[in-house]
Structure 1
Amino acid sequence: MTNKIEENIVSDIDLMEELLSTNPPRKPLRRGEIIDGIIMEINDGGLLLNIGHKSEGIVPSREMRSYSKEDYDKLESGSEVVALVINPEDDDGATILSVDKARGERGWRVLEKAKEEDKPVDGIIIGSNRGGAVVQAEDVQGFIPLSQLVGPARELFVPKKENAKDGFIGMKITFKIFELNRRRNRAIFSEKAVLQQERAIKKKELIETLQVGNILKGRIVGVSTFGAFVDIGGADGLIHISELSWDPVTSPADVVTVGSEMDVYVVKIDKENLKIALSLKRLTPEPWEIIKDQLIVGEKIDASVTKITTFGAFVRTDHGVEGLLHVSEISHEEITSVEEIEKLVSVGQKLNLTIVNVDTERKRLGLSIISSGKPKSTENEESPSEISQEETTSEGIDSNNLDETSNIE
């Protein structure tokens, strides 16, 4: 009998420990504490909330005036409410709460959740300073740096609120949360991040429909040393400097300008990295295709010197075809240095040359000052096509390399 009583006592103790571990006692509520509650009842006197304690929470109507009519109409049984504790326990044992006094805290919680879920938030521009726009969202005041302000708001921006252009103050703006620090009362937002996300989605959708060889309408939105960035309907692509023109291009800015609209040719599509390579020059025939039938060994052709090297001089015909004037075709005398070549020809000089070698398939053209038309063997010598490509690869960026497109802003 004694053993049975002891077993029952042990069993009761185990049950009590299990209950305590799964339902630990709640700490007493404190004045000024922010708590969550679930609406149990809505009446003319206010709200009755389940706050997870032995007593219910009451929000008097006078403590919920910050609700707009629209917000109030959305309230229903089961809705979650954030409130501040005014009185942990009144004479009737109920906890008196305030929605109005917790409004700011609720806003911080909404923004924190949006940041965690990487979701955009809507706000209203209420001012500006030299660094950017002052924005209010969910009763929290934040800041959008000028570098993160885009679209209509950027166009209307002026550094001082009192000089604001019509439409700027009060403008609705959608942004993502860049930084949030409740303790320091600091909130930094970015409108640009929303635009980038939207463009990435549009780009992914567009890439699924694109094919190499497509011709698209585009607008130049940026120019760099290695090429031009093009907006092709919400997505972006890159025209590498080597794809701007069949002629040599020193600076992309010499060929295109920001804001100009033009057709572009799709060269390559990288679906995995969401990158699109475009071309301007491929909309026109390649110079070789235009004059290949006119390139006949023994015929004369005009060309201008573009570069001098140890093995000869590069020249370009009036049609844009590059050729090599090999050192052995410049003079009957032996030439051993660039300086000796420069005494005979100079960059920019126009020459009337004889065609001594044509390789249409490999796009190589050999020219001569001294030959009457009988081509000399150049099998072991680098052709203009090979040299030019090597130099382009070492000094520039391959047109098939789209890494630069990740820097589009």
Structure 2
Amino acid sequence: MVLNSSGSEENTLPETGSGFQSDQAAPAPSDEVIVVSEESSAEAPESIVADSVEAVSAEVDAPSTEAAPSEESAPAPAGTPAEAPSAFKRGDIVEAMITETTPTSIKVDLDGKAVGTIRSSEIDRINKRDLENLQVGKKVAVYVVNPRDQEGSAVVSINLAAEEQDWKSAEEYRQNQQAYDTRIAGYNRGGLIVKFGRLRGFVPQSQMNAERRRATEDETPEQRWGKMVNEPIVVKVMEVDRDRNRLILSERMASKESREKRKESLITQLKQGEERTGRVVSLEDFGAFVDIGGAEGLVHLTELSWQHVNHPREVLKVGEETRVRIISIDPEAKRIGLSIKQLAADPWDIVATTYSPGQLVQGTVTKLTKFGAFAQVVDLPEIEGLIHISELSDRRVNHPKEVVNEGDKLTLRIVKIDIKNRRLGLSLRRVNSAEYLDIDWTTDTTQAAQPAAAPEAAAPANNEPEAPAPESESGAEE
């Protein structure tokens, strides 16, 4: 369009309110003629005339016919120079070269297309060692925060570039289901916070391994997990959501794989008969699993104690430390057999040296079966003997409950001792039998019923001797 000094043409400059703020004066008439082509109006900003500001002419190829300015081609603020579009956009990761370093900023060359600035606010957060490595000529990856600031240069960040790389790495770990070794950085009410490169991932309480979950019995997070900060932890990536800044990790998923690797390594070092200190990690109906330094071994129910044990919780607690002996190693199946009772004195040694057939003892009935009743020797609770059903009474007995009940304390006579097979035969009906009058006459009954006490070091026993055949029925079996 063409404007003359009088502004009398049909298409004049916008008046106050159409292109300027309400508190600005309308542009003063100008003698200079500004020509803008329709072809160039979509590419370059249009110039306006303002008080005390020189008019800026747009480059054109040819003059155009007169046309009223549209809303899309509204004039830019006075004095704004024409700018070429940036070669980069926000969020780009660019390999840059450091060209200048000062205490307050670092200048980088963005592939020869722009100059980037790392501002002082970020430099202050870089640790001293990394900062010393940022020398002129060094190449670094930077994240484009702003392609062009008010000074015309790009604002870039080294830290954000590293974080973006960590997000990509986290996604790769998730896809490959690879375990990641890191450390616990903190905690909150719901779980643990761990480091993943420069990122912070979250391990919910439900995704911790069994040992850590057992520590959640305390009331506050400080009591639960405060002492775990800086401890090593192995995790797998469960979820990566960059938009929500969400990184969820699981220790439980990584635990099985980690345990297997540790077990393979440990099995090659173990020797049968070796003693170790371990920690009870879980209790099952069939035994207890004990961690002996990176791998778990099984203490079978029968290896917990010399005394009869119905469930491991009767003698052990989760988290408790205990000494164990390695009794079996299976490298192919990756199994380790452990024993606690073998570290204690064998109570059958006391039976062999202290008791004899015909001797009277005190016993407590512990269990009834169809073939008899088991009784625990009062003065040696690690030992249980069997009162065969035929040894309960002189009359016919269909079931032991007709004669005795669990918990009954009885005077019993030893009728059989089998040290090799660890069996002790007891009798109720022969307590007053005439065949033992000579033994009862020559031996003080009280001393016979109270044999020498077992050493304090003796551990409980786990024995359920099979039913011995009564002396009058040598062929009877359980």
Q: Common fold, TM-score beyond 0.5?
A: yes
Alpha-carbon distance change, 141 to 155 in structure 1, aligned in 2, over 3 angstroms: farther
Question: Corresponding residue for 1:381?
Answer: 477
Q: Is the 8 A contact 2:118 2:157 kept in 1?
A: no
Gaps of 5+ in 2: 1-85, 437-469
Alpha-carbon distance change, 376 to 295 in structure 1, aligned in 2, over 3 angstroms: farther
Question: Corresponding residue for 2:70?
Answer: none
Question: Corresponding residue for 1:369?
Answer: 428
**Is 1:31–2:89 an aligned residue pair?**
yes
Alpha-carbon distance change, 312 to 240 in structure 1, aligned in 2, over 3 angstroms: same
- Which residue, 102, 107, 125 being the options, matches 1:46? 107
Question: Corresponding residue for 1:71?
Answer: 130
Deviation at 1:328, TM superposition (A): 2.0
Distance 1:157 1:180 in 2: 31
**Is 1:215–2:275 an aligned residue pair?**
yes
AA matched with 1:284: A
Distance 2:417 2:257 in 1: 51
- Which residue, 254, 266, 270 being the options, matches 2:314? 254
Structure 1 residues 71-110: aligned runs within 5 Å: 71-75=130-134, 81-84=141-144, 87=147, 98-99=156-157, 102=161, 104-110=163-169
Distance 1:138 1:262 in 2: 38
AA matched with 2:412: L
Deviation at 1:33, TM superposition (A): 4.9
Question: Corresponding residue for 1:146?
Answer: 205
Question: Corresponding residue for 2:407?
Answer: 348
Alpha-carbon distance change, 137 to 293 in structure 1, aligned in 2, over 3 angstroms: closer
Q: Is the 8 A contact 1:57 1:96 kept in 2?
A: no
The SS at the match of 1:342 is helix
- Which residue, 152, 156, 179 being the options, matches 1:118? 179
Alpha-carbon distance change, 280 to 65 in structure 1, aligned in 2, over 3 angstroms: same
Question: Corresponding residue for 1:324?
Answer: 386
Deviation at 1:187, TM superposition (A): 0.8
Question: Corresponding residue for 2:349?
Answer: 289
Alpha-carbon distance change, 71 to 250 in structure 1, aligned in 2, over 3 angstroms: same
Alpha-carbon distance change, 111 to 301 in structure 1, aligned in 2, over 3 angstroms: same
Deviation at 1:268, TM superposition (A): 2.4
Alpha-carbon displacement from aligned partner over 1:46-67 (angstroms, at most 9, x marks no partner): 33456xxxxx454523469635
Alpha-carbon displacement from aligned partner over 1:250-279 (angstroms, at most 9, x marks no partner): 443432345654432222234345543322
Alpha-carbon displacement from aligned partner over 1:135-166 (angstroms, at most 9, x marks no partner): 67555454232353959x9899946xxxx79x
Deviation at 1:306, TM superposition (A): 1.9
Q: Is the 8 A contact 2:88 2:144 kept in 1?
A: no
Q: Is the 8 A contact 1:173 1:191 kept in 2?
A: no
- Which residue, 311, 326, 340 being the options, matches 1:280? 340
Distance 1:332 1:155 in 2: 57
Distance 1:370 1:123 in 2: 67
Alpha-carbon distance change, 273 to 46 in structure 1, aligned in 2, over 3 angstroms: farther
Deviates more, 1:62-71 or 1:356-365: 62-71
Structure of greater Rg: 2
Q: Normalized against structure 1, the TM-score is what?
A: 0.63
Q: Is the 8 A contact 1:107 1:140 kept in 2?
A: yes
Alpha-carbon distance change, 213 to 103 in structure 1, aligned in 2, over 3 angstroms: closer
How many residues align? The count is 332
Alpha-carbon distance change, 355 to 154 in structure 1, aligned in 2, over 3 angstroms: closer
Alpha-carbon displacement from aligned partner over 1:187-233 (angstroms, at most 9, x marks no partner): 11356778887766655444322222222234445555554444434
AA matched with 1:31: K
Question: Corresponding residue for 2:247?
Answer: 187
Q: Is the 8 A contact 1:59 1:98 kept in 2?
A: no
Alpha-carbon distance change, 364 to 131 in structure 1, aligned in 2, over 3 angstroms: same
Higher strand share: 1
Deviation at 1:358, TM superposition (A): 3.8
Distance 2:139 2:354 in 1: 82
Deviation at 1:97, TM superposition (A): 7.4
Q: Normalized against structure 2, the TM-score is what?
A: 0.55
**Is 1:267–2:323 an aligned residue pair?**
no
The SS at the match of 2:367 is strand
Question: Corresponding residue for 1:239?
Answer: 299
Question: Corresponding residue for 1:9?
Answer: none
Distance 2:357 2:428 in 1: 13
Distance 2:217 2:110 in 1: 47
Distance 2:394 2:269 in 1: 59
Deviation at 1:172, TM superposition (A): 5.2
Question: Corresponding residue for 1:60?
Answer: 116
Structure 1 residues 194-213: aligned runs within 5 Å: 203-213=263-273
Alpha-carbon distance change, 285 to 315 in structure 1, aligned in 2, over 3 angstroms: same
Distance 1:156 1:323 in 2: 44
Distance 1:286 1:179 in 2: 54
The SS at the match of 1:331 is coil
Distance 1:250 1:360 in 2: 23
- Which residue, 282, 307, 316 being the options, matches 2:367? 307
Deviation at 1:114, TM superposition (A): 5.3
Question: Corresponding residue for 2:69?
Answer: none
The SS at the match of 2:122 is coil
The SS at the match of 1:209 is coil
Alpha-carbon distance change, 57 to 254 in structure 1, aligned in 2, over 3 angstroms: farther
Higher helix share: 1
Question: Corresponding residue for 1:333?
Answer: 395
The SS at the match of 1:268 is strand
Alpha-carbon distance change, 156 to 361 in structure 1, aligned in 2, over 3 angstroms: closer
Deviation at 1:311, TM superposition (A): 1.7
Distance 1:236 1:154 in 2: 22
